[in-house]
Amino acid sequence: MSIRTLGEGQDLVLIHGWAMHGGIFAPLSERLAQRFRLHVVDLPGHGDSHDYAAGSLESKRVARAIAEATPAAVWIGWSLGGLIALQAALDHPAQVRGLVEIAASPRFVRGDDWSHAVPGMIFREFAAGLIAEFRPAIERFLALETLGSANAMEELRELKAHVFERGDPSEQALLDGLAILDHADYRDELQRLSMPSLWIAGRRDRLVPTAAMQWAAERSPRGRFVEIAAGHAPFLSHADTVAEAIIEFVETAVAA
């Protein structure tokens, strides 16, 4: 697995979302690297982590692999990456000194007892679309991620510019990632989080409602909630605001 390290200071691990790679964090990484040492992950089958074996993106497996390859750190996960970071926080608490969830909730799909989400059929339709039309299906998902943002066109252009710049992601990795988004449910596990957590939501996010993230923050023993006037990728449109929230969290909530 490719993990790029830059900067100096306290350690932060950054994990990207579905179909992307660590390069998507560039606006945020530039700001955080001035204070911290960053370990920017390319998940299996994404970016420079080209080789993909079946099951490599299974949440427990990939969380363990990242934990073994990095020092104890504050873990920052966006969207799908937030689920991986949450899994690591539950399974490897000694390695996760703090948890930052960006546009990620404990359950992405709607259920009878969970309205703060999208219909599960969305992810199943994208899975079917990948098999039929690989790149158009990815681009449709990117458009979904920017839906509702005040800077939707600009964010979509940036996502499209980055998504294939390190080569095509593995089709099987993408299918496995969609399965995680479709089936993961950590709601009952939040009470086990032993480290401080920060939940950063985009007010205009149409994929992960702010209500889901506020709910999660309130049920995490040491949780904090921040809402930004952004869509699903707030670190693109509001990089300074997201960086400031993370810096304040690390300096005040995470023990040195």
Secondary structure class of 4 (helix, strand, coil): strand
CB crowding 204-242: b at 16 or more within 10 Å, else e: bbebbbbebbbbbbeebeebbbbebebbbbbbbbbbebb
Catalytic residue among 56, 232, 237, 238: 232
> In the annotation, is 205 catalytic?
yes
Catalytic residue among 49, 59, 79, 220: 79
Do residues 30 and 40 make contact, with C-beta atoms less than 8 angstroms apart?
no
Do residues 15 and 88 make contact, with C-beta atoms less than 8 angstroms apart?
no
Q: Is 94 exposed, middle or buried (0-12, 13-18, 19+ CB in 10 A)?
A: exposed
Catalytic residue among 197, 205, 237, 238: 205
> In the annotation, is 232 catalytic?
yes
> In the annotation, is 48 catalytic?
no
Closest alpha carbon to 213 in 119, 79, 111: 79
CA–CA distance, 104 with 212 (Å, rounded to integer):
9
Rounded alpha-carbon distances, angstroms, from residue 250 to 51, 73, 96, 159: 34, 10, 12, 27
Supply the residues annotated as catalytic: 79, 205, 232
